[in-house]
A and B are shown apart, each in its own frame.
Chain A
Amino acid sequence: MAITGTRHWAALAGGVTALAVALTGCAGGSTSAGGGGGEKTITWLVDNTENTVTYAEQIAKDFTAANPTIKVEVETRPQGGEGDNIVKTRLSTGDMADVFSYNSGSLFHQISPEQNLVPVTNEPYMANVSDSFKPVVTAGKEIYGVPVGTGNAGAVLYNKKVYEKLGLSVPKTWSEFLANSRKIKEAGTDPIIQTYQTTWTSQLFVLGDYANVAKADPDFAANYTANKAKYATDPAAVKGFEHLEEAAKAGLFNKDFASATYAQGLEKLANGEGAQYPILSFALPELKVTFPDKLNDIGLFPLPGDDASKNALTVWLPGGVYIPKSTKNLDEAKKLQAFIASKAGCDSQTKAVGANGPYLVKGCDLPADVPTAVKDMLPYFEDQSKNSPALEYLSPVKGPSLEQITVEVGSGIRSAKDAAALYDEDVKKQAKQLNLPGWN
Chain B
Amino acid sequence: MTVNTAPTVSAARPRQAVQPKRRKGKSAYPYWFYLPAAVVYTALFLIPTFASFFFSFTRWSLTDFTFIGLDNFVQFFQEPALLKGLTNTFIYGLVTSALKVVLGMLLAVLLTSQIIARGYLRSVIFFPVLLSSIGVGIVFTILMDPSKGMINKALEVVGIQGPAWLVDPAWALLSVALVDVWKGVGLATVIYIAGIVSIPQEYFEAAKVDGASSFKSFFNITLPLARPATATVIILSLIGGLRSFDLIWAMTKGGPGFTSDVIASVIFKQYQAGFYGLSTAGNVVLFLIVTAIILPLSMFLNRKEVDQ
Q: Does B62 contact A (CB under 8 A)?
A: yes
Q: Does B273 contact A (CB under 8 A)?
A: yes
A407 to B274, CA, bound (A): 22
A407 contacts B61, CB within 8 Å? no
Residues of chain A lying within 8 A (CB to CB) of residue B35:
12
Residues of chain B lying within 8 A (CB to CB) of residue A81:
269, 272-273
A340 to B262, CA, bound (A): 44
B49 CB, nearest partner CB in chain A, Å:
13
B39 contacts A16, CB within 8 Å? yes
A429 touching B273 in the complex, CB below 8 Å, given contacts A199-B255, A258-B168, A413-B256 = yes
Residues of chain B lying within 8 A (CB to CB) of residue A196:
167, 255-256
Chain A positions 87 through 121: 1 when the CB is less than 8 Å from some CB of chain B, otherwise 0 = 01100110000000000000000101001000000
User: A378-424: which have CB < 8 Å to B?
Assistant: 400-401, 404-405, 407-408, 411, 413-414, 422
Show 23 residue pairs from A and B whose CB-CB distance is below 8 angstroms, ordered by the A residue: A13-B46, A16-B42, A20-B47, A81-B269, A88-B274, A92-B62, A115-B63, A196-B255, A258-B146, A404-B255, A408-B256, A411-B169, A411-B257, A413-B256, A414-B257, A422-B80, A425-B78, A429-B275, A432-B75, A433-B59, A433-B274, A433-B275, A433-B278
Q: Could you say which of A23, A82, A84, A435 contacts B274, with CB atoms under 8 Å apart?
A: A84
Q: Does B259 contact A (CB under 8 A)?
A: yes
B77 CB, nearest partner CB in chain A, Å:
13
Chain B positions 234 through 249: 1 when the CB is less than 8 Å from some CB of chain A, otherwise 0 = 0000000000000000
Q: Could you say which of A89, A407, A425 contacts B62, with CB atoms under 8 Å apart?
A: A89
A139 CB, nearest partner CB in chain B, Å:
14
Residues of chain A whose beta carbon lies under 8 Å from any beta carbon of chain B? 1, 8, 12-13, 16-17, 19-20, 23, 81-82, 84-85, 88-89, 92-93, 110, 112, 115, 196-197, 199, 255-256, 258-259, 400-401, 404-405, 407-408, 411, 413-414, 422, 425-426, 429-430, 432-433, 435
Q: Does B253 contact A (CB under 8 A)?
A: yes
Residues of chain B lying within 8 A (CB to CB) of residue A197:
167
Besides A196-B255, A259-B164, 10 more A-B contacts (Cβ < 8 Å) are A16-B38, A81-B269, A88-B274, A93-B62, A199-B253, A259-B146, A400-B270, A404-B81, A407-B257, A408-B258
CB closest residue in chain B, given A399: B273
B162 CB, nearest partner CB in chain A, Å:
12
Q: Could you say which of B43, B146, B257 contacts A405, with CB atoms under 8 Å apart?
A: B257
B43 contacts A19, CB within 8 Å? yes
Residues of chain A lying within 8 A (CB to CB) of residue B166:
259
A85 touching B164 in the complex, CB below 8 Å, given contacts A16-B39, A20-B43, A92-B61 = no
B167 contacts A259, CB within 8 Å? yes
A429 to B35, CA, bound (A): 43
Q: Does B119 contact A (CB under 8 A)?
A: no
Count the A-B residue pairs with Cβ separation under 8 angstroms: how many? Answer: 107
Residues of chain A lying within 8 A (CB to CB) of residue B278:
429, 433
A232 to B150, CA, bound (A): 42
A432 touching B59 in the complex, CB below 8 Å, given contacts A82-B272, A258-B164, A259-B146 = yes
Q: Does B25 contact A (CB under 8 A)?
A: yes
B147 contacts A259, CB within 8 Å? yes
Q: Could you say which of B25, B61, B81, B253 contacts A1, with CB atoms under 8 Å apart?
A: B25
A429 contacts B75, CB within 8 Å? yes
B63 contacts A407, CB within 8 Å? no
Residues of chain A lying within 8 A (CB to CB) of residue B147:
255-256, 259
A413 contacts B274, CB within 8 Å? no
CB closest residue in chain B, given A426: B80
CB closest residue in chain B, given A81: B272
Question: Which of B75, B78, B257 has the most chain A CB atoms closer than 10 A to its own CB?
Answer: B257
A110 to B81, CA, bound (A): 23
Residues of chain B lying within 8 A (CB to CB) of residue A430:
273
A401 to B258, CA, bound (A): 9
Residues of chain A lying within 8 A (CB to CB) of residue B104:
none
CB closest residue in chain A, given B61: A112
A413 touching B43 in the complex, CB below 8 Å, given contacts A92-B62, A400-B269, A429-B275 = no
CB closest residue in chain B, given A196: B256
B167 CB, nearest partner CB in chain A, Å:
4
Q: Could you say which of A85, A88, A411 contacts B256, with CB atoms under 8 Å apart?
A: A411
A404 touching B258 in the complex, CB below 8 Å, given contacts A81-B273, A89-B62, A112-B61 = yes
Residues of chain A lying within 8 A (CB to CB) of residue B62:
88-89, 92-93
Residues of chain B lying within 8 A (CB to CB) of residue A92:
61-63
User: B20-75: which have CB < 8 Å to A?
Assistant: 25, 31, 35, 38-39, 42-43, 46-47, 59, 61-63, 75
Residues of chain A lying within 8 A (CB to CB) of residue B59:
432-433, 435
A258 contacts B167, CB within 8 Å? yes
A194 to B270, CA, bound (A): 26
CB closest residue in chain B, given A199: B255
Closest 8 CB pairs of A and B: A408-B257, A400-B273, A258-B167, A92-B62, A16-B42, A81-B272, A259-B167, A1-B25
A425 touching B43 in the complex, CB below 8 Å, given contacts A115-B63, A433-B275 = no
B272 contacts A256, CB within 8 Å? no
Chain B positions 142 through 158: 1 when the CB is less than 8 Å from some CB of chain A, otherwise 0 = 00011100000000000
Q: Does B271 contact A (CB under 8 A)?
A: yes
A261 to B178, CA, bound (A): 23
Residues of chain A lying within 8 A (CB to CB) of residue B253:
199
Q: Does B254 contact A (CB under 8 A)?
A: yes
A7 to B219, CA, bound (A): 56
A256 to B149, CA, bound (A): 12
Residues of chain B lying within 8 A (CB to CB) of residue A404:
81, 254-255, 257-258
Residues of chain B lying within 8 A (CB to CB) of residue A413:
169, 256-257, 259
